[in-house]
């Protein structure tokens, strides 16, 4: 073997067998992991960590999405089989879940036929011991004809990884003989494939009966099953989920988050003062305003929320890691199915709580076009990481950091998704299509603090990078547009409404009057939100000249004696309406781009965007007017024109639903 040789190692295995965890351990990368099936959607590549690579070769590791089978006709997980077949990696590490040999080895025997060297990583080997299951690894290795290394990819030491790597290097050029003979199979004929697959299962069963010694049969009731009956209970499931989310929000926004945010806020203030001092008196006020209020103030306002978001991401990562999310999917399925969504629609939405873009991309695994497009259209309603600063800001300023605001926004999003799906199902006239739901329930485990910390920091890093690039640029531009009028004259104090920003945003502001927030500043913030949702907070900071939203004293008392709430000039009800408007209008351009590529249809894309706009508008309208009516006893300003707009939107949707129903009846008549 020559120096500098390249070795490509592919990781393949069943969903939730721990491929990405192993990938991260091998490469030192920080890809997102979760204790449920289907977290990885696309293949990812990384170089083997220096500390594990004792050779001078370049070893590239490729993480593939989980697959149960490579049989023709199961196109379900085609990325994996296409990669292995077409790109021919040098070695495949087949990650086998040691707790479920009888299913996993089916895929293993298929991989062994590919004429690529295979090393089996018998993962989760710590769990088998706990279950009093003994596996004769030596015999298994002999029966399969390939080397096997026991691994525990979740542990940071004594995890079998070094042995795995050295086995991979040593095995590189010796291809194994496939233990199961499928030469007679006719891959183009369904019945032949089915017959051989059955034989293959028989073959696997025989191996398992030889090497596995279980003391406790896997179909016996366990404490985990008892936990499922409560956590995924018909009626208890949702209140439990709500209580957990409420706890997550109260820790991140009321207790721990603000504590950390105060410290960070102090640093930002100090930095602001330091730069201000550095600039001195001689610098032009315009330049210093762009630098101080635009860049440091705007970006600082967004970054100020970082601690809150980090705590939230940490807690969400713990939830994902312990296996609870799969149970949430089970609880939600009941509602999702009634509105014609696929059981798989839940996964994009859970991913969407981090960022909408990968969430929308996760819809790719949904086969049915309507279900996939509907899910791609509705996933952005989930409050993503970028929307959290907006929630945190409004919860802090108007609702005294109440944890219910965030919780309510999540459930509001779920409600909107269900209503939206129902409408789309009716509009498309597809209400007689049935969908099936099947979800593997991973075992509960104690969540790992380390993994949650890693996940938190990698998301925080992405957040900071975004703040330092897109958001910095946006805020600088907003500041410039606010400082100058169309003649490029500096706007005089008191004449802010003549600025470029004000004149662009004002026409939009008129449309927002019926929603309770017709100020051009608020309209401008919503518009910049389409570039990145964090911009809503950043722009508000810039246009109102607020540097630090987190500082509790500043909430109450700003320089001119009014609180932030006063500066924004909103009632609590209007603030809530504005918050919802920003959460439930179309997402940022990046997410719209993702919608475009997953929907693959212009009509759906524009329909989707129009739908999202209408939804945000209607929700904000209803919130503002019903809220004002109950708190003040009269409807808010602009009720009548707003009502006309909302009625027109609802009327049009109703017309589409009626047309869709007719289509459905015709379809049904045809099929009978």
Q: Contacts with another protein in 164-203 (CB under 8 A)? A: 194, 197-198, 201
Compute how many other C-beta atoms are within 10 angstroms of the C-beta atom of residue 629.
14
Size of the site for another protein (CB under 8 A): 41
CB-CB contact of 14 with 111 (8 Å) = no
Q: Does 530 sit near another protein (CB under 8 A)? A: no
- Reported residue count of the chain is 672
Compute how many other C-beta atoms are within 10 angstroms of the C-beta atom of residue 532.
22
Max Cα separation, the chain? 86
| Closer by beta carbon to another protein, 234 or else 603 | 234
Q: Which stretch binds another protein (CB under 8 A): 18-26, 73-81, 266-274, 506-514?
A: 73-81
Tokens of 273: 């003062």
Residue-by-residue DSSP string for 46-92:
EEPPTTT--SSSEEEEEE----S---TT-GGGHHHHHHHHHH--SEE
Q: Nearest-CA neighbor of 313 among 404, 387, 248?
A: 248
Q: Which stretch binds another protein (CB under 8 A): 102-110, 273-281, 289-297, 647-655?
A: 102-110
Q: Does 88 sit near another protein (CB under 8 A)? A: no
Site string for another protein, 437-466 (x = CB under 8 A): xxxxx-------------------------
Give the span between the Cα atoms of 329 and 311, in whole angstroms. 23
Q: Nearest-CA neighbor of 373 among 409, 398, 348?
A: 348
Q: Does 223 sit near another protein (CB under 8 A)? A: no
Compute how many other C-beta atoms are within 10 angstroms of the C-beta atom of residue 6.
9
Position of tokens 């017709």? Answer: 518
Give residues with Cβ within 8 angstroms of 539, minimum separation 6: 298, 474, 475, 478, 521, 524, 525, 528, 529
Exposure b/e, 297-323, CB count within 10 A at least 16 = b: bbbbbbbbbbbbbbbbbbbbbbbbbbb
| Closer by beta carbon to another protein, 235 or else 488 | 235
Q: Nearest-CA neighbor of 411 among 526, 255, 246?
A: 246
Q: Which one among 232, 390, 470, 592 touches another protein, defined by CB under 8 A?
A: 232
Site string for another protein, 361-390 (x = CB under 8 A): ------x-----------------------
585, 591, 593, 594: CA torsion to nearest 10:
-130
Q: How far is the CB of 105 from another protein (least distance, A)?
A: 10
Q: How far is the CB of 365 from another protein (least distance, A)?
A: 12
**E-state strands within 142-269:** 148-150, 212-214
Q: Which stretch binds another protein (CB under 8 A): 224-232, 308-316, 514-522, 528-536?
A: 224-232
Q: Does 269 sit near another protein (CB under 8 A)? A: no
44-47 and 117-123: which strand pairing?
unpaired
| Closer by beta carbon to another protein, 436 or else 488 | 436
Q: Which residues are annotated as a binding site?
A: 13-20, 24-25, 27-28, 38-42, 63-66, 123-126, 152-154
Q: How far is the CB of 377 from another protein (least distance, A)?
A: 23
Q: Does 63 sit near another protein (CB under 8 A)? A: no
Q: Contacts with another protein in 297-356 (CB under 8 A)? A: 326, 329-330, 333-334, 337, 343
Q: Contacts with another protein in 597-626 (CB under 8 A)? A: none
Q: Which stretch binds another protein (CB under 8 A): 51-59, 181-189, 217-225, 534-542?
A: 217-225
Q: Does 74 sit near another protein (CB under 8 A)? A: yes
Q: Does 73 sit near another protein (CB under 8 A)? A: yes
Q: Does 135 sit near another protein (CB under 8 A)? A: no
CB-CB contact of 532 with 386 (8 Å) = yes
Q: How far is the CB of 72 from another protein (least distance, A)?
A: 10
Continuous H helices in 467-563: 472-483, 500-512, 520-528, 534-544, 552-556
Q: Which one among 43, 57, 175, 233 touches another protein, defined by CB under 8 A?
A: 233
Residues that bind another protein (CB under 8 A): 68-69, 71, 73-74, 76, 99-103, 106, 194, 197-198, 201, 218-219, 221, 224-225, 228-229, 232-234, 326, 329-330, 333-334, 337, 343, 367, 434, 436-441
């Amino acid at each position: 073997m020559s120096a500098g040789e390249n070795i490509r190692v592919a990781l393949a295995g069943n969903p939730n067998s721990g491929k990405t965890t192993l990938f991260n351990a091998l490469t030192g990368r920080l890809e997102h992991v979760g204790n449920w099936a289907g977290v990885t959607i696309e293949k990812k590549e990384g170089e083997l960590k220096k500390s594990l690579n004792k050779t001078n070769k370049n070893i590239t590791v490729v993480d593939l999405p989980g697959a149960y089978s490579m049989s023709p006709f199961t196109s379900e997980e085609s990325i994996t089989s296409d990669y292995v077949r077409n790109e021919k990696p040098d070695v495949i590490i087949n990650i086998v879940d040691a707790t479920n040999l009888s299913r996993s080895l089916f895929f293993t025997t298929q991989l062994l036929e590919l004429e690529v060297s295979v090393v089996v990583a018998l993962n989760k080997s710590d769990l088998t011991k706990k279950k009093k299951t003994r596996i004769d690894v030596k015999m298994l290795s002999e029966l399969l004809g390939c080397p096997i290394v026991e691994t525990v990819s979740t542990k940071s030491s004594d995890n079998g990884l070094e042995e795995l790597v050295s086995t991979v290097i040593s095995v590189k050029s010796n291809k194994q003989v496939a233990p199961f003979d499928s030469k007679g199979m006719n891959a183009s004929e369904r019945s032949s494939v089915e017959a051989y697959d059955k034989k293959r299962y028989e073959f696997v069963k025989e191996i398992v009966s030889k090497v596995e010694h279980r003391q406790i049969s896997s179909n016996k009731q366990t404490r985990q099953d008892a936990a499922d009956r409560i956590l995924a209970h018909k009626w208890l499931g949702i209140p439990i989920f709500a209580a957990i989310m409420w706890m997550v929000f109260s820790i991140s926004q009321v207790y721990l988050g603000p504590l950390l945010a105060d410290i960070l806020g102090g640093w930002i203030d100090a930095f602001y003062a330091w730069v201000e001092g550095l600039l001195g008196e001689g610098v032009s006020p315009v330049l210093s305003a762009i630098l101080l209020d635009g860049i440091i103030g705007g970006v600082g306002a967004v970054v100020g929320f970082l601690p809150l978001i980090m705590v939230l991401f940490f807690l969400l990562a713990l939830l994902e890691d312990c296996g609870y999310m799969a149970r949430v999917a089970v609880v939600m399925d009941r509602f999702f199915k009634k509105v014609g969504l696929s059981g798989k629609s839940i996964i994009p939405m859970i991913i969407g709580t981090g960022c909408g873009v990968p969430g929308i991309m996760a819809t790719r695994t949904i086969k049915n076009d309507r279900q996939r497009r509907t899910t791609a259209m509705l996933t952005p309603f989930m409050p993503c990481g970028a929307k959290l600063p907006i929630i945190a800001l409004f919860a802090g300023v108007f609702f005294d950091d109440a944890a219910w605001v965030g919780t309510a926004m999540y459930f509001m999003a779920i409600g909107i998704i269900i209503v939206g799906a129902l409408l789309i199902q009716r509009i498309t006239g597809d209400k007689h299509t049935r969908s099936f739901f099947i979800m593997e329930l991973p075992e509960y485990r104690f969540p790992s603090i380390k993994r949650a910390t890693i996940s938190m920091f990698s998301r925080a890093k992405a957040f900071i990078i975004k703040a330092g690039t897109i958001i910095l640029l946006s805020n600088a531009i907003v500041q410039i547009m606010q400082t100058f009028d169309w003649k490029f004259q500096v706007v005089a104090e008191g004449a802010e409404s003549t600025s470029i920003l004000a004149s662009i945003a004002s026409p939009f502001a008129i449309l927002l009057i019926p929603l309770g927030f017709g100020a051009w500043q608020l309209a401008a913030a919503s518009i910049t939100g389409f570039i990145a949702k964090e911009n809503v907070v950043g722009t508000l900071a810039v246009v109102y000249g607020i540097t630090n939203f987190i500082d509790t004293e500043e909430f109450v008392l700003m320089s001119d004696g009014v609180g932030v709430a006063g500066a924004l000039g909103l009632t609590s009800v209007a603030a809530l309406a504005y918050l919802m408007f920003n959460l439930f209008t179309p997402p940022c351009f990046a997410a719209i781009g993702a919608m475009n590529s997953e929907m693959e249809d212009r009509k759906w894309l524009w329909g989707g965007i129009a739908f999202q706009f209408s939804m945000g508008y209607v929700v904000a309208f209803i919130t503002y007017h019903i809220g004002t009516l109950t708190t003040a006893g009269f409807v808010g300003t602009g009720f009548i024109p707003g009502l006309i707009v909302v009625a027109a939107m609802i009327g049009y949707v109703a017309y589409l639903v009626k047309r869709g129903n007719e289509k459905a009846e015709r379809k049904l008549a045809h099929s009978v």
